[in-house]
């Protein structure tokens, strides 16, 4: 049975309260960002760069296991305004190679002056200002 995190979070949002599950999920998402900043600041004097890659929906077995129907990919791309889910503006789910390319870029000399960053690779699904 697939663990339906999105539905559970949606129910929490609709009830107007955050469940312990939701709080744990948010904390687990924030932890890598905080760790990246702490380690990056400590190692910067030694020339080390520290960055984070945060992938969005990616075509993996885990992602497919969360789909409830054969058109699950189309549902993810379209989003669900009733659950405050934007969807994916670029109109496609990432493939693992696209995430790997972001990691390879950050590890390359082309990114030699990039540090303490969270590169979100999600096709525009996360709106931030």
pTM here? 0.76
- Measured distance CA(37)–CA(34) in Å, rounded: 5
Give yes or no for residue 83 having a pLDDT over 90: no
C-alpha separations of 23 from 33, 53, 85 in Å: 16, 22, 18
> What percentage of residues in the chain have a pLDDT greater than 90?
57
Say which residue, 37 or 72, is predicted with more confidence: 37
Q: Walk me through the domains of the chain, giving residue ranges and CATH numbers.
A: 5-121 (3.40.50.720)
Q: What is the pLDDT of residue 1?
A: 33
Give yes or no for residue 84 having a pLDDT over 80: no
């Amino acid at each position: 049975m697939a663990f339906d995190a999105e539905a559970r979070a949606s129910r929490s949002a609709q009830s107007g309260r955050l469940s312990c599950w939701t709080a744990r999920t948010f904390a687990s998402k924030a932890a890598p960002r905080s760790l990246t900043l702490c380690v990056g600041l400590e190692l910067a004097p030694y020339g080390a760069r520290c960055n984070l890659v945060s992938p969005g929906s990616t075509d993996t077995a885990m992602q497919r296991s969360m789909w409830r129907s054969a058109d699950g990919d189309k549902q993810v791309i379209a989003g669900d305004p009733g659950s405050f889910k934007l969807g994916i503006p670029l109109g496609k789910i990432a493939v693992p190679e696209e995430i790997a390319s972001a990691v390879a870029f950050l590890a390359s000399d082309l990114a030699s002056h990039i540090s303490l960053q969270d590169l979100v690779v999600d096709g525009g699904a996360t709106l931030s200002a």
